Every structure is written in structure tokens, then in C-alpha cells.
Chains A and B, each alone.
Chain A
Amino acid sequence: MPMLRAEHLSRSFTSGETRVFAVDDVTIDVEAGEFVALTGPSGCGKSTLLHLCGGMDRPSSGRVVLDGAALESLGDDALTDLRRDRVGFVFQFFNLLPTLTAVENVALPLRLAGRRAGDARAEARTLLDRVGLASRLDHFPAQLSGGEMQRVAIARALVHRPALVIADEPTGNLDSDSGRRVLELLTVLNRETGVTMLLATHAADVARAAGRVVRMRDGRVEAERPGHAAV
């Protein structure tokens, strides 16, 4: 059983009398520990597919099974709990909470899962140290650079040891140097922690870091090939 299975997944939106398919009958399996990159032009459905796989949106048809849980069978609260416990998110615009410090942002998933403040903070410190931000623990997001914010976001996505990390254009808002460092970090963490990663990107170098590349067009899977990391 793969870590993530999407079967005949479709997501359509209605605009006036027109029905537009953002994702159109996509079937994809991601094995545990795999690093899969979704590529394709803007508007091809990458982000929508990520949201469906991460339980942030519900499909119009088809089904998603994540770590053995069929998402369509879950109510809103259960789906929220599944996101909290088994999914980590990295967004293009970092999406850190501005009123929380770096260490508080990273500790948040653990606190939401009911861990004690001291334990959660200790784990968050360890992970921030791991991503090279030991000296920025008590800085607020506004006091960090883009690259630093994204590294905090990556630490937040991994701190609760999720089954799947979903990253939507994680280097899309960074300069090339910061982007390269974030990509290296994702690759190393995938390799060292064995966490499953599903990533959407425009950047060819990001895609090359993945073990498998899935190219999308017009909401459908156009082609699949091994990434450089798999070679």
C-alpha cells in the first residue's frame, strides 16, 4: 500500500455556466519515503492536486487514501485532525504566524497535538538548530529573511513527524541562493528522516532534486519520469 494514493481524482469549479476542471481524472501513487515533484505550467492543477492530497480541499470525484485513511470518509473535524497529525505543509509565501516567534511557529503543530509546552519547544529548538536557525529562535517572522522564514516553515512541517510533507512552490519566492539552500534542506531531510514529500514547482533544478517527476498539463498527468535523485 503506498503512503499516498489518489484514484481518478477530479476537482472542478463552476464559473457561470462553464465547468472548469482544475484536476481531471488524475491517478497517482506516492510510496513511503519517496520525493515526488509535480511540474507543469501555471494553472495546470499542481496546487489543486496538492490540496486534495493534503486534505485541504475535497475532490469533485475520485478518492484519496493517505497513510491508510480514506479522506472522503472523514468529517471536517477528523480531516482537520488528520492534517494536524499526518501532514506537513510548506507554502510559497511561508505562511508563518506573524505574532509567534520562530520557535513558537515550529512548536505549534506539537502544541496543537497536545504536547506539553516545554517538550514542544525543546523539539522545535532541535529542529531549528538542524535547519541552521539556532540563533534565530526568538525572532518574529518579520525579523527574518525569506530564506530563513522558509526554513522555519520546513521545520514546522517536519516537527511532528508527519507521514507526508506537501510543499507548494517552496523556492518560488526566494532568491536563487536561498532557494538552493532550501532545496538542499528538503532533499537532505527526505533522505535522513525518510519523510514522504510531494512538491509542486516550476523550477527545473527543484524537480531534478526529486526522485520522481510528474508533469501535468490542463489538470491531467502528462508524463512521469525519474528525477535525478533517483538516478
Chain B
Amino acid sequence: MPLFSPFILRRLIREPLRSATTVLGVALGVSVIVAIQITKASSLAGFETALETVAGRASLEVVSAGPGVDERLLSGVGWLREYGAIAPILEGDAVYAPAAGPAERLHVLGVDALRDRPFRDDTLVATAGGAPTQDLLGALLDPSSVVLAQAFAEAHGLAVGSAFTVRIGDRAVPLTVRGLLANEGPARVLDGRFALMDIAAAQQAFDRFGFIDRLEIQIADAAAIDADEAAIARRLPPGLTVERPARRGRQVEQMLAAFHLNLTALSYVALVVGLFLVYNTVAVAVLARREEIGILRALGVRRAGIRRLFLGEAALVAVVGCALGVGLGRVLADGTIALTATTVSTLYIAAAAAPPALGWREVLLAFGTGVPLSLLAAAVPAREAGSGHSRR
């Protein structure tokens, strides 16, 4: 098309403010979509990392619907040891409200200190005795004992021996720091908001006497996991099921889906604003250039040729806008991740935001959304331009 450069491109260059506004409109719309996409991926990845780290080396879990696994059922499943090591787990969230600063959610993992060692590498860096030790059992002796992530303790001025109170539901639960955990594993992925308790103490703290969340199994023969899972499923009494830890990830994914849907919908609202700018720009251009369109028609440019010119303008604006939007979206993602991580942690599940990653998927999403929709927005005024009469 010999006209695109002199007719469209030069005008875009001659009117930098108008062109920049339109490009920026598309860029902002696309950037919000990209940012939300990155945020979604990040929060899910963050949760999955947290899940995997907290789940440790468990390859299967025995779970139950409702309030959890009834301990009375456990006496009948001693045969599970035939398949590998087993350990009960109860977990929950407590809220720590320091005298100064905002309240923070603390993810508490209740473990059987005797049985948990094969599952998790919880490195104690300090205990009541002073020197670092691996004596988790000793650190969790009484019901108020808790082992805190070192990062959390330092952030709140707590040390071994410090007493503090958390809220669980509507109850205040006094706790005493009996040890500090190295900043690794769950403590790291949850940004330090992690604590270990003895499972019996956790049942008391969370008021869930007689229940655990799951029984973790570390299958001795990893190659036989499929067969073992099937065999365990057959032997479990009614009310108990066996599943893989990843399944919890999918459940949470479903739970977060609604939240993510809201974010996605909002991001598309931003895109609609950008598209309206494209529509408006092309519509104004068509209106302002009616005379020139008439000249082109008189000189022998077909209606389709006129339409292509203005669609070309929209496509160019969209491509530049999308390219900018991808970069802008990456920057914006840093902010939205911080914002949504708080919401996700507060409302849904304790999870740390994973570092945002910009991949081909986001780039394709930006261009695959921005360019076609911009063309769609420009289609009406472009058609109007093509339907104009030749110069009279």
C-alpha cells in the first residue's frame, strides 16, 4: 500500500500528542492484563511452592472430608507403615498482632516431632539451651511451646524464651518461643510467617481435639507409588481417602479461581478503556480526513483500500501499544503482586508471592488480545471511512 507511510504514518508523527495518547491507552490496557496474568501465575506458583515445601517429602496423604481425619480411625490404619514412613499433620493460621505495626498471619504446622524428621528439614538455629540443636522434640515439650521462623522472631523482637499471644478464631492463645527455625524451607517461602508446634499442642491451640488434617506417607518405593496408592485406597476404611499433595494445589487453584476471575475481569475493563481510545482516535481521524478520503476515492482508491488504511493505523497503534504494554505490565506486576499477595494470604491461604516472570505466554496474550481487539474497535470508523463518497 503506497499510501500508508505518507497518509497514515506521517500524520501520526505530525500529531505526536494524539498518537502518544492512543498508544498509551492501548499500552495501559494491555499492561494491566499482562500484570494480572503475571500476578495470577505468581500467586499460584507461590502457593504451590509453599505447598510443596510444607508438604516436604510426603508422596501421599490420607485425608478426610469435613473437620479432618478423626484420630479414632488412625488406630485401624497402622498397616500404612507397610508402605513407608507416616506422620500426622495439623495446620492452621494464627494472627499475631504486635503492639506496633499491622497484624500478621502466622502459618502453624502441628507435627509429631518423633515422626516428622523424614518429611521435613526443619533446621533449628537456636533453642532454650542456647546452642543450635536438632532436638525438635525437646523444643516442643509443653503445650505452649512453639518454634518460630527466625525471620519472624527477629522482625517482632522475639527471642527464645519470649512469651507472646496470638489469636486463633476468637481466642487468645499464649505461646512461648522454644526455638528458632533457619530461614529455609517453609519459613523462607512463607516470608518467615511460619511456626512449628507439637501436634497435640496444635490440637489444643486450634481447638480441634481428636482431629488431624492429614496423615502424610512417604512411600518407601517411589517407583511403586501408583500401585501403592491404589492398594491403600482399597484398604482404607470408609471416610478416609488417599491422594497426592499436588491435589491440594488444584483445590486451592479452584478456590483462587474466583478471585483471579475478578482480577481478570477488572483488567479487561482497563483494556476496554484503551480500545475506546483506539475507536475514538480512528473515528476522529476519519471525520477530520473526510475531504482527503474523498480525494483518494476520486483518484481511484477503492473502498476496501480506504478501510485498510485506517485499520492499518489501528494495527500500528496496537502493536506499539502492546509492545509498550508488555514492558509496563512487568513493572506493574511488582505492585499488583504485593497487593494481591496480601489479599490471598489474608482471605484464602498462607502463601508467598513467587518472583514475577514474564514469558512468551504473557507476550502472546498481550498481542493476541490487544491487536485483534484494537482492529475490532477501529472496524466501525474504518468501514465508515470506506463508505464515504468520492470528492465532489
Contact = CB atoms under 8 A, between A and B. Distances in A.
A99 B9 CA distance: 9
B92 to A, nearest CB: 68
B303 A95 contact: no
A112 B298 contact: no
A203 B259 CA distance: 76
A76 interface: yes
A108 B305 CA distance: 14
A181 B193 CA distance: 89
B7 A85 contact: no
A7 to B, nearest CB: 22
A29 interface: no
Nearest to A47: B392
Interface string A80-124: 110111000101000111111000100011011100010000000
Interface residues of B, number: 24
Contacts of A51: 392
Given A84-B300, A98-B292, A99-B7, A112 B2 contact: yes
A108 B5 CA distance: 12
B392 A56 contact: yes
B299 interface: yes
B6 A81 contact: no
A113 B3 CA distance: 12
B6 A104 contact: yes
Given A57-B392, A98-B292, A109 B300 contact: yes
B10 interface: yes
Contacts of A104: 6
A56 B6 CA distance: 24
A42 B297 CA distance: 25
- The main secondary structure of chain B at its interface with chain A is helix
A51 B389 CA distance: 12
Nearest to A107: B2
Interface in B277-298: 291-292, 294-298
Contacts of A57: 389, 392
A83 B298 contact: yes
A81 B391 contact: no
B295 A80 contact: no
B2 A99 contact: no
Contact of A100 (B6, B301, B392): B6
Q: Which of B298, B299, B392 is packed against the most chain A CB atoms within 10 Å? A: B299
A77 interface: yes
Interface of A: 47, 51, 54, 56-57, 76-77, 80-81, 83-85, 89, 91, 95-100, 104, 108-109, 111-113, 117, 156
9 interchain residue pairs of minimum CB distance: A84-B300, A111-B2, A99-B10, A56-B390, A100-B6, A95-B295, A83-B300, A80-B302, A112-B300
Interface of B: 2-3, 6-7, 10-11, 14, 291-292, 294-304, 389-392
Given A84-B301, A112-B300, 20 more contacts: A47-B392, A51-B392, A56-B389, A56-B390, A56-B391, A80-B297, A80-B300, A80-B301, A80-B303, A83-B300, A84-B299, A91-B391, A95-B298, A99-B10, A100-B6, A104-B6, A108-B3, A112-B2, A112-B301, A156-B299
